[in-house]
Structure 1
Amino acid sequence: MLNLLRYRPIADYSASPQLAPATSITGEAAYRLYMEHIMPPLEKSGGKLLFFGRGGPFLIGPDNERWDAALLVQQSSPAAFMAFSSDAECLAGIAHRTAALADSRLLPLEENGC
């Protein structure tokens, strides 16, 4: 799964104030909280984080489009991903992700052996 992320300047915890930190944090900081929360259930499901890096300007692409970060996550199967993403432990921290992101994309990828 290729994840493209655009962070909010300030995380928006209005939908889940119970998870909000005592002081305002950036969207990037909120996403890091999400990642800390999500890594144990991801690994328990057989998934792996292969890459997590900061984005930059496109070499080829629209000038008005930007992504702050990209992640590449490997899962053993679509069924394993669906089980992981609907797991109660996983869902307990999803509000950090929602608070963090202004926009995102999730692109399933399949290795083709080239």
Structure 2
Amino acid sequence: MTKTYIDPSPANFQAFKDLPRDEPIHMLNLLRYREEAAYPAGHENAGKGWSGRRAYQEYGKTSGPIFRRVGGSIVWRGAFQTVVTGPEAMQWHDGFVAQYPNSGAFFEMIKDPDYQKAVVNRTAALADSRLVRFAPGDAGEGF
């Protein structure tokens, strides 16, 4: 079975924290949803029969106000079609790039108590994911 990733490892999160905190960042998000959301027993959404996609929509609805409050925005969003270069088994449902004014804004978001409640929906929704930090570059016609 292939290893899946939902949350950052301690080493990866430390590497993120060690990068400069005072410059804009882009976060590439690649998402593969569970067929059925996996909520912890007793959670208000457990037993509703939601798909992973529906649970992720709830995550967006509940975390969105916090994301926007810290200055976040979506600069690109797309629906997966096929892998051109890479492992054939690499299948995603959705992808997007979130922009933050700086990593401090990202930290502010993930430390927010309301965000911490909302992120349960993300965890329940995802079978696998990737979250990759980039420094924004110039767009244009060339590579």
Please report the TM-score for the alignment, with normalisation by the length of structure 2: 0.73
Q: What SS does structure 1 have at the residue aligned with 2:36? A: coil
Mapping of residues 43-58 of structure 1, within 5 Å: 43-58=68-83
**Is the Cα–Cα contact under 8 Å of residues 16 and 95 in structure 1 kept in the other structure?**
no
Identity %: 31
CA RMSD of aligned residues (A): 1.5
Q: Tell me the residue number matched to 1:107.
A: 132
- Give the residue type in structure 2 aligned to 1:110: A
Query: Does residue 90 of structure 1 match 2:115?
Result: yes
Mapping of residues 9-48 of structure 1, within 5 Å: 9-13=35-39, 15=40, 17-20=42-45, 23-48=48-73
Which runs of no fewer than 5 residues in structure 1 stay unpaired? none
**Is the Cα–Cα contact under 8 Å of residues 36 and 52 in structure 2 kept in the other structure?**
yes
Greater C-alpha Rg: 2
* CA apart distance, 1:79: 1.2
Please report the TM-score for the alignment, with normalisation by the length of structure 1: 0.90
**2: CA distance between counterparts of 1:44 and 1:16?**
31
- Give the residue type in structure 1 aligned to 2:112: D
Query: Does residue 7 of structure 1 match 2:33?
Result: yes
- Give the residue type in structure 2 aligned to 1:93: A
* CA apart distance, 1:21: 5.5
